Amino acid sequence: MKPTRSMKLLAVALAAGLYAHLPLAGADALVKVDGSSTVYPITEAVAEEFQKAKKGAVKVTVGISGSGGGFKKFCRGETDISDASRPILEKEMKACAEAGIKYVELPVAFDALTVVINPKNTWVKELKVEELKKMWEPGAQGKIMTWNQVNPAWPNAPLKLFGPGADSGTFDYFTDAINGKEKASRGDFTASEDDNVLVQGVSRDVNALGYFGMAYYAENKDKLKAAAIVNKGSSKAVLPSLETVMAGTYQPLARPIFIYVSEKAMQRAEVREFVEFYLKNAPKLVKEVGYVPLSQAHYSQALKNFTSKKLGTGFGGTPEVGVKVEDLLAREAKL
């Protein structure tokens, strides 16, 4: 069939019409955010609402380069805000300092890791951090292969482990919190960068155990069971939930996640407005995307730190396990 003149006209009109009634970019205010994929859903939600509230006068872009990739761009001055699922590291602080980039560190939510088992698993009532260590430490590789090797009360059934791959921030934090050293883990487990694959794996095998972010557990509660965790030196088993994470009792597997705002970018009104909007709307939006919000007092303190330009990080370049958000916000900050 030969395209007729009227058909061509119709196509052009359709394309033009589609283009005309949509908001278009001009040379106007732009806020650039990049970084961690863990923080991404929160920043995406805030960006969406912020642009709606500003009726398109300010544009926000969000990329996913990972916490490390995000800091690289941030310290080159390419982005205004960096999403990070871990605090800035010493070498990144150095890179920023060399480029003259100063920043404010703002915790925006909790990310709680959930240890999950199959719903048909009847033997695990609670998991001690020591037991998790026995399963996951590098020395367990090829040795700890059955459940009763971890705890004699458990059955002689094969232990099938599922976890995120070594490039993930979740892997870094879990190994740090459980095995005491970042990236120290046994290697003979089923690893996937896609948490949905881990969900499938654990839901299909009675003998499976895995870990990933709480949002994935929350979406798959019918297929998985969360294990209650007993922290070192404690005797109380705590299940991951909004309340326990916010109260700080679900430890050591809950951590704050951050945004870093460049001081230079803070001179622009649209960046200030965006960050203020972020902290004010976080309680509602964070919950909506499956994460645990900080307490109202934390957000108010974070906002105060932001408006008073409290520059630097409270960590000094080394991530810590089990740090309290109020302590962190009150700490002396270092650039």
Partner 1 sequence: MNTAPSVAEVRALIVKHKRWDLAFAVIGTLALMVGILTFVALFADMLIDGMPRLNYDFLTSFPSRRPEQAGILSAWVGSTLVMLVTAVAAVPLGVAAAIYLEEYAPKNWVTEIIEVNVTNLAGVPSIVYGLLALGLFVYQFGLGQSILAAGLTLALLILPVVIVATREAIRSIPSAIREGAYALGATRWQMVSQHILPYSIPGILTGVIIGMARAIGETAPVITIGALTFIAFLPPTPISGAFPFLSFEWLTAPFTVMPIQMFNWTSRPEAAFQANAAAAGLVLLVMTLSMNALAIYLRYKLRKNIQW
Contact positions vs partner 1 (CB under 8 A): 18-19, 22-27, 32, 34, 37, 40-41, 43-45, 47-48, 51, 56, 59-65, 73, 193-196, 213, 215-216, 218-220, 285, 288-290
Give the relative orientation of helices 90-98 and 66-75 as an angle to the nearest 10 degrees. Answer: 20
210 or 314, CB closer to partner 1? Answer: 210
Provide, rounded to whole angstroms, the least separation between the CB of residue 204 and partner 1: 17
Contact call for residues 292 and 109 (beta carbons, < 8 A): yes
32 or 298, CB closer to partner 1? Answer: 32
144 or 224, CB closer to partner 1? Answer: 224
Provide, rounded to whole angstroms, the least separation between the CB of residue 302 and partner 1: 21
41 or 252, CB closer to partner 1? Answer: 41
Provide, rounded to whole angstroms, the least separation between the CB of residue 234 and partner 1: 29
Provide, rounded to whole angstroms, the least separation between the CB of residue 43 and partner 1: 8
The whole-angstrom distance between residue 224's C-alpha and the CA centroid of its chain comes to 21
Contact call for residues 309 and 266 (beta carbons, < 8 A): yes
Structure tokens that stand for 307 in this block: 């408006």
Query: What residues contact 235, with CB distance under 8 A and at least 6 apart?
Result: none
37 or 251, CB closer to partner 1? Answer: 37
Provide, rounded to whole angstroms, the least separation between the CB of residue 5 and partner 1: 18
How far the first Cα of the chain sits from its last, in Å, is 68
Instruction: Count the neighbouring beta carbons within 10 Å of the beta carbon of residue 53.
Output: 12
Provide, rounded to whole angstroms, the least separation between the CB of residue 262 and partner 1: 17
The whole-angstrom distance between residue 111's C-alpha and the CA centroid of its chain comes to 5
Hey, which residues does 209 pair with through a beta bridge?
Answer: 117, 161
Contact call for residues 36 and 70 (beta carbons, < 8 A): yes
Q: Which amino acid is residue 276, in one-letter code? A: E
248 or 290, CB closer to partner 1? Answer: 290
Cα(101)–Cα(105) distance, rounded to whole angstroms? 13
